[in-house]
A and B are shown apart, each in its own frame.
Chain A
Amino acid sequence: GENVEQHPSTLSVQEGDSAVIKCTYSDSASNYFPWYKQELGKRPQLIIDIRSNVGEKKDQRIAVTLNKTAKHFSLHITETQPEDSAVYFCAAKRAHNNNDMRFGAGTRLTVKP
């Protein structure tokens, strides 16, 4: 089955700096890669996702890049703000395949004002 590794486990940045979180996956057939943000005590919420037919996707201050050959994908947050502080999870699965999605272990991002 799929195995997703995520690094770093914790990340502290100064407000306004960029943050990068990286994930690797093992199943070469995976083609759907979402990123979830989880604030303390709350549910995980999707912030951005990418499919294997594109290499990069951007939504305002958030971007995700995908390297299918190397089987890794990354989340980039620019101009970080204190409200970006949360735990971020990456995940991977085979799209439209009705199978389970495997999550990385999470990255706790702290943005210092």
Chain B
Amino acid sequence: DSGVTQTPKHLITATGQRVTLRCSPRSGDLSVYWYQQSLDQGLQFLIQYYNGEERAKGNILERFSAQQFPDLHSELNLSSLELGDSALYFCASSQEPAGGDEQFFGPGTRLTVL
């Protein structure tokens, strides 16, 4: 157990819908990262937050948005869902920049868009 939690574990929804994925980082970690992993694909970096502020953006679609709240948990919002958005969504946290660079991954949310 990495200490990073994600909910829900599974999510099945229809095209055009909107969903919210939630992540709680390890205690003390200020940085949160979101990744998308499609079937048999690598980890695509979406976005990073540090202490409530956006720090880096990767290949995140305009239909997707995220935020980090004062209690440091983060939410990834996916809207106008398409079949191709079906994937595993991981969040990770780290102690950066104050501490280690290692990113600890949560168990992921498997999103299926029908």
Q: Which residues from chain A sit less than 8 Å from chain B, CB to CB?
A: 32, 34, 36, 42-46, 49, 89, 93, 95-106
Instruction: Chain B residues near A43: list those with CB within 8 A.
Output: 2, 90, 105-108
The answer on a CB contact under 8 Å between A93 and B42 is no
11 new A-B contacts at CB < 8 Å, known A36-B105, A100-B55, A101-B33: A32-B101, A34-B102, A34-B103, A46-B104, A89-B43, A96-B96, A96-B101, A98-B97, A100-B45, A103-B42, A103-B43
Contact between chains at B108 and A104 (CB < 8 Å): no
Contacts of A104 in B (CB 8 A): 42
Give the number of residues in B that approach A within 8 Å (Cβ atoms): 24
- Which residue numbers of B lie inside 8 Å of A, CB to CB? 2, 31, 33, 35, 41-43, 45, 48, 50, 55-56, 58, 90, 96-97, 101-108
Check B106–A106 contact: CB distance below 8 A: no
Min CB distance A79 to B, Å, is 26
Is the Cβ of B56 less than 8 Å from the Cβ of A49? no
Complex contacts, B33 vs chain A, CB 8 Å: 100-101
CB-CB < 8 A to B48: which residues of A? 99-100
Residue numbers in B under 8 Å from A102 (CB-CB): 45
Residue of A with least CB distance to B57: A100
A38 CB to closest chain B CB, in angstroms?
9
**Minimal beta-carbon separation of B70 from chain A (angstroms):** 19
Contact yes or no, A89 B97, CB < 8 A: no
The reply to whether B42 and A106 contact each other, CB–CB distance below 8 Å, is: yes
Q: Can you sample 23 A-B contacts with CB below 8 Å?
A: A32-B101, A34-B102, A43-B90, A43-B105, A43-B106, A43-B108, A44-B105, A46-B103, A89-B42, A93-B101, A98-B31, A98-B50, A98-B55, A98-B97, A99-B55, A100-B48, A100-B55, A100-B56, A101-B103, A103-B35, A105-B42, A106-B41, A106-B43
Write out the residue numbers on chain B whose beta carbons fall within 8 Å of the beta carbon of A44: 43, 90, 105
- Give A37 Cβ to nearest chain B Cβ, in Å: 11
Q: Residues of B contacting A42 with CB < 8 Å?
A: 107
